[in-house]
Amino acid sequence: MPKKTFECAEAVGATLITQAKDNQEDLRKQLAHGCRVQQSIETHADPVTKSHGRIEHRTYEVFNALPILNKWQKDWPYIREVIRVTRYREELNKTKPTETVHYYVSNRVLNAQLYAKYIRDHWFIENKLHNIKDVAFQEDRQTKHCNPYVYSTCIDIALNITRSKRIANIKSSLYENCLDFHKFYEKFKNDL
């Protein structure tokens, strides 16, 4: 989470919500400590969902960032709110439920329900695009030092062609087509 990103978002008036991850260990620890000792401004709880063999429940708590980052205010002047997301997950085939806590920061002041929507929308994109690129196309396993954006763009084009054909299982389709190139060519020749 580069500080420059917050400066750019502030300059153009964009709303920026980003997760504090392990590579920002000091910041993440400070956020966790601040959220433990401070009272939340607002709380929103998503309804319990039951799907994909698991039960999930998320709680979003919003905190004022100024008291939490008081001594770091000169380093992070554009962080205005901290969002603590607690996710409870119980998988039906496992005996022990899990609870994870994630911290997000924002350069705007919004309500907890809006933060919940924006964070869930981000994970929808992550699951629908990046997971397919990583699993089906094995993008993360491929190390491309020269022109990595060209390689990623080629994967995006292949993914868009595959989705335009309304193929449900992309990974299976890729496997079948690599076994018989003529079948692949006949199926996609108009798109090439």
pLDDT in tens, 116-148: 998 888 766 555 665 666 666 666 666 666 777
* Pairing assessment for the beta strands 17-20 and 42-45 based on DSSP bridges: unpaired
| pLDDT at site 77 | 86
**163, 136 in Cβ contact below 8 A?**
no
Q: Which of 19-23, 52-56, 103-107, 183-187 has the lowest mean pLDDT?
A: 183-187
- The residue-averaged pLDDT of 45-55 equals 85
- Per the CB < 8 A criterion, the answer to whether 95 and 116 are in contact is no
- DSSP secondary structure letter of residue 76: S
Model confidence pLDDT, tens digit, residues 73-91: 777 888 999 999 999 988 8
Domain segments of the chain: what residues? 3-111, 148-188
Range scoring the smallest mean pLDDT among 9-18, 28-37, 114-123, 154-163: 154-163
Burial class (CB in 10 A: 0-12, 13-18, 19+), 46: middle
pLDDT beyond 70 at 54:
yes
Cα–Cα–Cα angle for 65, 70, 74, rounded to 5 degrees:
100
Q: Which helix (H) or strand (E) holds 113?
A: helix 112-125
Say if residue 183's pLDDT is above 90. no
| pTM listed for this prediction | 0.68
- pLDDT value at position 69? 87
Per-residue pLDDT, averaged over 22-37, amounts to 89
Compute the average pLDDT of residues 101-106.
94
CA-to-CA separations, 155 to 70, 97, 120, in angstroms, rounded: 44, 36, 25
